[in-house]
Amino acid sequence: MAERTIEVEEQITVGALAEKLMLPVTKLIGELMKNGIMATVNERIDFDTAQIIVGELGLDIELARKSEPITSTIHEKRKSNQNGETRPPVIAVMGHVDHGKTSLLDAIRGADTAKGEAGGITQHISAYQIVHKDRPITFLDTPGHEAFAALREHGALLTDLVIVVVAADDGVKPQTIEAIRFARKAGVKILVAVNKIDKEGSNVAQLKQQLAEQDLLVEEWGGDTVVVEVSAKTKQGIPELLDMVLLIADVEDLKAEVDVPATGLIIEAHMEQGRGPVAICLVDEGTLESGNYIVAGGTYAKIRNLESTDGSKMAKATPSTPVVITGFKVLPEFGDEFQIVKDEKTARTLAQNMDRQRKASGSKQDIGSGELIRMINRTNEITEFPVIVKADVQGSLISVIDSIKSLDTDEVVVRIVNSGVGAVNESDAHLAHSTGATIYGFNTQMPTSIKRLISRDKVPVRLYSIIYELIDDVREELGTRLAPEIVEKDLGALTVKGVFKTSKTEIICGGEVVSGKLTYPALARIKRGKETIGEATITNLKRGPQDTKEVFEGEMCGMNIATTQKTDIQEGDRIELFTRESVTRHL
């Protein structure tokens, strides 16, 4: 029985844990370092890791999880708010790569963004509003590549309805299944848009069967999943799709307060030259106006410009409206909730308090229990690949970092030296030069002055506009750092019929090839019965009096064997020839 029990949060900083354990923080840090983790006082560890450390220290203390109050999320507030006015539905469009999500949205709003996207793949969440039958509908286009799982999950939590786009000629794919899972987790309705019905090879019946296997039984089969057949290319079925969206919105009876201070969520954030920090927000309730003071996480803004996502000026934004905001002091974080406050003093105070809380919780780095256990149990040193990551927007930055960190193995890991939003700058170049890091840029630029600095210091920089190409590059770099695999290839075997010369360094013998083909140079394993009595190197082969490069099964030959120690070869021994080479491994 433990002498005392201590309650700790699910995430706790090293310094706070040391204080609760009444230990010098240096001792706790030392224990982490002893197990291979370079942790500082402000870095946080999870509850399971804290338990492991207490066990490693041999303390007579039991840790218990501290119960945390249940907080209301935006999604929960949206579902419970039935006292306001009817608001537009917020629709997330999800699905597998290249199934036509963005093309379908282009057809809906009469734009052509897919051609401008790198690799034809949506790289971050985009939001816009269209009007159908005099009623506005807000759409969120979420990325399809697996690297953007965090963005898609975020998109599902923001919405009232998820349209899962599935290509009629390709069927249900991994990201399709993932989108369905995210929608279910968020508790929102699912509507399936079967795209590319005009394409050769489309099989809608088979697709419906695949949906049934994912517990999405279509209405005509007695289920409640609505399926609409569409073609982004010919625009067939799009009016019916929008009609169905509005019908589901009416059934759901979506409402929100309008005459209250606005709240909402940051769905994207990036830097723009001449405008500074720019945030794309989705208003959840209330009315947002230019000049309002808003707080989002650890930063705040007096709204300088309020624009629609197509760049038009707006006087105000009401619930379910996506807007672009400028005026933030620093870049807000992807996923931060925002709220209106009465004045700049209140905004500054709230933002500073939130910033202090985040720093106190050690938000810079999480050390998971799985990672710690692996480090405690490992027997070989881990090779690190240091990188600096820059991206155009916060959401993409998170996705890139999560994706490349998922490539970590027990032998090689990616170490994020630094990361940020914006162009590669002088600070990045100096840091990369001093740490030996490679700079990866995603959808970002490198000024000419920085190119000269990079060239002078020979800093490796890789800029990509397609995320899977960046991930493949990191995977390849990690592969080059893996220890090569030693591979043996059997060639053939000979039964010794006679031994002609034996010395400390050489043996000359002859016999019959009983299997395979003998070549040289090669390694040899000398066996007597089942026992291996030595290894050596074949330096020459003879067929009769003539030297030869190879001898086949059933033939007689002689061989010269070089040894590093005297080996007693006798008639009847078996000599097995093989090669041994190192092969580059890949992740």
Q: Which one is predicted more confidently, 70 or 490?
A: 490
Main-chain phi, psi angles of 372, to 5 degrees: -65, -45
3-state DSSP call for residue 558? strand
Please give the torsion angle defined by the CA atoms of residues 74, 78, 79 and 81, in that order, rounded to the nearest 10 degrees: 130
Least trusted range by pLDDT, from 199-203, 275-279, 311-315: 199-203
Query: What is the domain count for the chain?
Result: 5
Q: Where does the pLDDT of residue 122 fall: very low under 50, low under 70, confident under 90, or very high at 90 and above?
A: very low
Q: Which one is predicted more confidently, 433 or 100?
A: 433
DSSP 8-class letter at 220: G
Question: 191 and 239 share a domain?
Answer: yes
* Kind of pairing between the strands at 126-132 and 135-141: antiparallel
CATH number, domain of 343, equals: 2.40.30.10
Exposure of 281 in the CB half-sphere (CA atoms within 13 A)? 39
In a domain, 292, yes or no: yes
CA distance 65 to 48: 10
In a domain, 70, yes or no: no
Whether the CB-CB separation of 266 and 296 falls below 8 Å is answered with: yes
Q: Which residue has the tokens 């190197």?
A: 537
Which one-letter amino acid corresponds to residue 17?
L
- Within 67-147, where are the H helices? 74-80, 101-109
Q: What is the mean pLDDT of residues 169-198?
A: 81
In a domain, 274, yes or no: yes
Percent of the chain at pLDDT > 70 equals 83
CA distance 435 to 419: 14
CA distance 254 to 251: 8
Q: Where does the pLDDT of residue 203 fall: very low under 50, low under 70, confident under 90, or very high at 90 and above?
A: confident
- Say what the pLDDT of residue 93 is: 82
Residues in the chain: 587
> What b/e string do you get for 151-179 counting C-beta neighbours within 10 Å, with b at 16 or more?
bbbbbbbbbbbbbbbbbbbbbbbebbebb
CATH number, domain of 225, equals: 3.40.50.300
Question: 272 and 302 share a domain?
Answer: yes
Q: Is the pLDDT of residue 249 over 90?
A: no
In a domain, 81, yes or no: no
Last residue of a domain, one of 227, 253, 279: 253
Q: Is the pLDDT of residue 150 over 60?
A: no
Question: 231 and 305 share a domain?
Answer: no
DSSP 8-class letter at 393: B
The predicted-structure confidence for 354-386, as pLDDT tens digits, reads as follows: 887 766 654 444 444 444 444 444 434 578 889
Q: Which residue has the tokens 């009609």?
A: 243
Q: Can you point out the beta strands (E) in 246-292?
A: 255-256, 263-272, 276-285, 288-289
- Say what the pLDDT of residue 37 is: 64
Question: 471 and 549 share a domain?
Answer: no
Whether the CB-CB separation of 306 and 314 falls below 8 Å is answered with: yes
In a domain, 461, yes or no: yes
Question: 422 and 538 share a domain?
Answer: no
Contacts of 490 (CB under 8 A, 6+ apart): 516, 576, 577, 578
> What b/e string do you get for 524-545 counting C-beta neighbours within 10 Å, with b at 16 or more?
bbbeeeeeeebbbebeebbeee
The predicted-structure confidence for 411-423, as pLDDT tens digits, reads as follows: 788 888 888 888 8
Q: Is the pLDDT of residue 574 over 70?
A: yes
Question: 148 and 183 share a domain?
Answer: yes
Q: Can you point out the beta strands (E) in 43-89?
A: 44-46, 61-65, 85-86
Q: Which of 96, 11, 91, 89 is nearest to 49 (CA)?
A: 11
In a domain, 76, yes or no: no
Q: What is the mean pLDDT of residues 540-552?
A: 91
Contacts of 381 (CB under 8 A, 6+ apart): none
* Kind of pairing between the strands at 161-167 and 255-256: unpaired
3-state DSSP call for residue 170? coil
Least trusted range by pLDDT, from 87-101, 359-373, 516-530: 359-373
Q: Which one is predicted more confidently, 1 or 167?
A: 167
Q: Which of 366, 519, 384 is nearest to 438 (CA)?
A: 384
Q: Which residues constitute the domain of residue 509?
A: 485-583
Main-chain phi, psi angles of 471, to 5 degrees: -65, -40
Element (H, E) at 21: helix 14-21
The predicted-structure confidence for 336-347, as pLDDT tens digits, reads as follows: 888 999 899 998
In a domain, 299, yes or no: yes
Question: 189 and 57 share a domain?
Answer: no
Whether the CB-CB separation of 486 and 582 falls below 8 Å is answered with: yes
Last residue of a domain, one of 459, 480, 501: 480
- Say what the pLDDT of residue 361 is: 52
Q: Which two tokens stand for residue 203?
A: 């099989």
Least trusted range by pLDDT, from 114-118, 297-301, 396-400, 464-468: 114-118
Over 394-451, what HEC string results? HHHHHHHHHHHHCCCCCCEEEEEEEEEECCCCHHHHHHHHHHCCEEEEECCCCCHHHH
Angle between helices 149-157 and 174-186 (to 10 degrees): 40
Q: Which residue has the tokens 């000049």?
A: 291
* Kind of pairing between the strands at 85-86 and 11-13: unpaired
CA distance 496 to 507: 12
Please give the torsion angle defined by the CA atoms of residues 399, 401, 403 and 405, in that order, rounded to the nearest 10 degrees: -150
Q: What is the mean pLDDT of residues 221-229?
A: 85
Least trusted range by pLDDT, from 63-67, 225-229, 287-291, 477-481: 63-67
CA distance 539 to 556: 17
Q: What is the mean pLDDT of residues 114-143?
A: 64
Q: Where does the pLDDT of residue 123 fall: very low under 50, low under 70, confident under 90, or very high at 90 and above?
A: very low
Question: 317 and 412 share a domain?
Answer: no
Instruction: Count the helix, strand and coil residues of the chain and give each as a percent rounded to the nearest 5.
Output: 30, 35, 35
3-state DSSP call for residue 379? coil
Sheet holding 135-141, edge to edge: 126-132, 135-141, 90-95, 161-167, 189-195, 226-229
Beta bridge partners of 524: 536, 577
Element (H, E) at 533: strand 531-543
Question: 393 and 355 share a domain?
Answer: no
Q: Is the pLDDT of residue 484 over 80?
A: no
Question: 382 and 464 share a domain?
Answer: yes
Q: What is the DSSP string of 281-329?
A: EEEEESBEETT-EEEETTEEEEEEEEE-TTS-B-SEE-TT-EEEEEEES
- Say what the pLDDT of residue 128 is: 80
CA distance 331 to 278: 7
| Burial classification of residue 7, based on how many CB atoms lie within 10 Å of its CB (0-12 exposed, 13-18 middle, 19 or more buried) | exposed
Q: What is the mean pLDDT of residues 157-171?
A: 81
Percent of the chain at pLDDT > 90 equals 16
| Burial classification of residue 181, based on how many CB atoms lie within 10 Å of its CB (0-12 exposed, 13-18 middle, 19 or more buried) | middle
Q: What is the mean pLDDT of residues 209-224?
A: 84
Q: Which two tokens stand for residue 28?
A: 């706790």
Last residue of a domain, one of 424, 445, 480: 480
CA distance 294 to 303: 7
Q: Is the pLDDT of residue 303 over 70?
A: yes
Question: 200 and 267 share a domain?
Answer: no
CATH number, domain of 454, equals: 3.40.50.10050
Q: What is the mean pLDDT of residues 165-185?
A: 80
Element (H, E) at 135: strand 135-141
